[in-house]
Structure 1
Amino acid sequence: MGKQSEAEYLWNSGPFRVGIVPRGGAISRIDWVRPDGDGVINLLRPVDEFSLTSGNPSHLGCFPMVPFANRLGYAQFDFDGKTINVPANRAPDPHAIHGFGISAVWEIERPTIDTIRFSHKHDDPQTGFSYTAWQEITVANGSISIEIGVRHLGREPMPYGIGLHPWFPAGEDASVSFIAADCFGTDDGKLPTTRTVIDLGRDFSDGKMIRHNKGLDVHYSGWHGAVEMTWKDRQLSLLLEASDTLSNLQFYIPENGETFCVEPVSHVPNVHNRPELKKFGDVRVLGYNDTISGTMTLTPGLLARSDDSLVDDAEEPVGRRDYSLVD
């Protein structure tokens, strides 16, 4: 069941309430009813009316990346003997970022009790990208899953990548833990250059506090497919798991430390232009009617209460955030 407004569609299923913004195919919130009956927690970063009506999905809780994830160098790449030019969509940055889905209006289909699906079509003969993309949210067994997928509809094959870009609230007690095999150095344009070792500053295998790692922006491959997050002040734990297709991870903490992203993606950013990086996560060439899809699953839980003063900080934002720091 849901209600439609100009900016946000709300859907309830089990212990979750989800907000969807059709412009950009973004998720504005995922509210979770605490099993102890002590209120509701928004699993994503909180948003306000400005972010809902801004038209910029980077201001919201989670958005799709299709037909490529993260940055594409100088908004072009060579494929099948042709140079493909795509829009550089964040001036004055010369690169393209996050694909085309973030500038499209996604159509929401009639939901079932535990599933809701929304999609958009894209057809550009100049680039060769002709496709239908979808997101499908499913609630089951105390978890909520988001599948992102794309079906190529063009006559000639094209390379595709996908990803999801969730934003989570930070704070003094937020911590993150995940395991990966490799990470990458970047140039001044934030494009990966070479594989490098995961040094102490980029190793989160034993968990680290977000507040000690502000400004971090790193791409990982050989990711084990799970991220564990905790917020002691919110009494919240959150397990993020991804399917094998989403084999890579982008991890970003803005300088202000108010939020962070752990983004499951299918390929190394700008791998279109860096063939030596293909073995660490490549795009997939799709022929007519071929598809690629991947799923991110969030499973929340409550931490043991160690202090009666712990309360849910949750839900509604206070004031207006600094929107200059988006990715």
Structure 2
Amino acid sequence: MSKKDAPEYRWNSGPFQIGIVPNGGAISRIDWIRPDGNGTINLLRPVTEQALKSGNPSSLGCFPMVPFANRLAFSQFEFDGRIVNVPANRPPSPHAIHGFGRGAEWKIERPTVDTLRFNHKHDDPSSGFVYVAWQEFKVTQDDVTIEIGVRHLGRTPMPYGIGLHPWFPGGEDASVAFVAADCFSTDDDMLPTTRTVIDLGRDFSDGKMIRHHMGLDVHYSGWEGEAEMMWDNAGYRLHLSASDSLSNLQFYIPEDGKTFCVEPVSHVPNVHNHPEFKELGDVMVLDKNETLIGAMTLTPSLIERPDSGLVDDDDIGVAPNRDYSLVD
């Protein structure tokens, strides 16, 4: 176990080794010991020394989003009869993104055998956001659960949102499947503009290869709270499930396809400024000492192949006709 003041703090529990970078509350790695004895797999995108030294949580495996997720237009919104201003934290863009948590220093608490918690406090009376946020790992022999929560400490109520922003390995063999009810059209700044139907290019219900959809960046509402990812060449899959409080999903594949994001979040981006989106995923107004809590569980497993070779099929992911069985 590394020292808490090291750039990366590592913690072992069960078949997992977890790495945390206190700057930004980022998760650098979730290494899973393969049950077949053939080494380990980092369930998140591979971490590099350059990324660890960069001081940028967005270059690592996962970071928290609090007190709002994704983009907030022009870094402001109206609430309770006043304009709330927050920092525009990705210059030169005028918009705020991903909240304040990834720009904070998080404190790691003493772990138990199967639980590790880290937190940070934010105190900005001018905006009204005064809170303590936390992330907590809970490990079993089968899975890792990451809880994210926030407790409002201000004197007057404020609207809160939360989310987790994991980056997963991309590549030629990566596929993903999930089911949702609706998605959104966006403007040039990737801010949602209208609710729309899920067309063929954004429908991942039967599983699709990442490599065929590079550059996709879509927000989904009515998400069923589960996603199935598979890396055929590496021989494993990963099931992601989220709590009911994280009912929306942001799905992003960068242009190079080397990584992709399946982000469980509690609300539609910029819903603060779009009351018509509230029914599709709203922020939660918290009074003093009230909390908003969500959780994401990652369950890895190996693939037993009934045949050899990779079928080059856009629906390879976790399509119903794929007769894959899991190896415990």
Q: Do they superpose with TM above 0.5?
A: yes
Match of 2:7 in 1: 7
Aligned to 1:117: 117
Note the C-alpha offset of 1:308.
Answer: 8.1
Hey, what does 1:135 align to over in structure 2? 135
1:261-280 alignment, distance < 5 Å: 261-280=261-280
Q: Which residue of 1 aligns with 2:324?
A: none
Structure 1 position 32 matched with structure 2 position 16: no
Residues 156 and 288, structure 1, Cα contact 8 Å, conserved in 2: yes
Aligned match of 2:234: 234
CA 1:37/1:309 → structure 2, altered by over 3 Å: closer, same or farther?
farther
Alpha-carbon shift at residue 49 of structure 1 (Å) = 1.0
CA gap 1:277/1:31 in 2 versus in 1, 3 angstroms = same
CA distance in 1, matches of 2:141, 2:222: 28
- Alignment check: 8 A CA contact 1:3 1:11 kept: no
**1:208-250: CA deviations, max 9, x gaps?**
0000000000000000000000001110100000000000000
Report the Cα offset of residue 306 of structure 1: 5.6
* Alpha-carbon shift at residue 47 of structure 1 (Å): 1.4
SS in 1 for 2:155: coil
Runs of 4 or more above 6 Å deviation: 307-310
The answer for the alignment partner of 1:303 in structure 2 is 303
In the alignment, what sits opposite 2:223?
223
- The separation in 1 between residues aligned to 2:252 and 2:308, in whole angstroms, is 33
Letter in structure 2 aligned against 1:104 = A
User: Does 2:285 align with 1:288?
Assistant: no
1:272-316 superposed Cα distances (whole Å, 9 cap, x missing partner): 000000000000000000000000000000011467899xxxxxx
Partner of 2:155: 155
Cα distance, 1:7–1:308 mapped onto 2, change above 3 Å: farther
Distance in 2, matches of 1:94 and 1:206, equals 38
Which sections of structure 2, spanning at least 5 residues, go unmatched? 311-328
Contact 2:4 2:108 (C-alpha < 8 Å) held by counterparts: no
Aligned length: 310
User: Is contact 2:44–2:167 with CA below 8 Å preserved after alignment?
Assistant: yes
Contact 1:2 1:12 (C-alpha < 8 Å) held by counterparts = no
Deviation for aligned residue 1:7: 0.8
Contact 2:27 2:60 in 1 (8 A): yes
Distance 2:295 2:149 in 1: 9
Cα drift, residue 93 of structure 1? 1.0
TM-score normalised according to structure 1 size:
0.93
Residue 251 of structure 1 aligns with an amino acid whose one-letter code is F
Do the aligned partners of residues 38 and 309 (structure 1) sit closer, same or farther apart at CA in structure 2, a change above 3 Å counting?
Answer: farther
Matches within 5 A, 1:138-217: 138-217=138-217
Q: Which deviations, in whole Å up to 9, do the C-alpha atoms of 1:34-90 show, x marking residues without a partner?
A: 001111000000111111111110000000000000000010000001101100000
Cα distance in 1 for residues equivalent to 2:29 and 2:307: 28
Q: Which residue of 2 aligns with 1:81?
A: 81
Separation in structure 1 between the aligned mates of residue 112 and residue 180 of structure 2, nearest angstrom? 36
SS at match of 2:304: coil
**Which residue is 1:43 aligned to?**
43
Contact 2:11-2:18 within 8 A present in 1 as well:
yes
Aligned to 2:246: 246
Note the 1:310-325 alignment, pairs <5 A.
none
Inter-CA distance 141–15: structure 2 relative to 1 (3 Å threshold): closer
Compute the displacement of 1:5 (Å).
4.8
Alpha-carbon distance in structure 2 between the residues aligned to 1:93 and 1:6: 32
The letter of the residue matching 1:9 is Y
Match of 2:96 in 1: 96
Cα distance in 2 between the residues matched to 1:8 and 1:309: 38
Q: Retained in 1: the 8 A contact 2:14–2:141? A: no
Whether the 8 Å CA contact 2:108–2:119 is kept in 1: the answer is yes
The answer as to whether partners of 2:10 and 2:20 remain within 8 angstroms in 1 is yes
Letter in 2 for 1:103: G
User: What is the TM-score when the length of structure 2 is the normalising length?
Assistant: 0.93
SS in 1 for 2:233: helix
Q: Could you tell which deviates more after superposition, 31-40 or 299-308?
A: 299-308
For residues 45 and 112 of structure 1, what CA distance do their matches in structure 2 show?
26
Q: Distance in 1 between matches of 2:5 and 2:308?
A: 39
Aligned residues of 2:15 and 2:141 also touching (Cα < 8 A): no
CA contact (8 A) 1:148 1:162 kept: yes
Q: Which residue of 2 aligns with 1:53?
A: 53
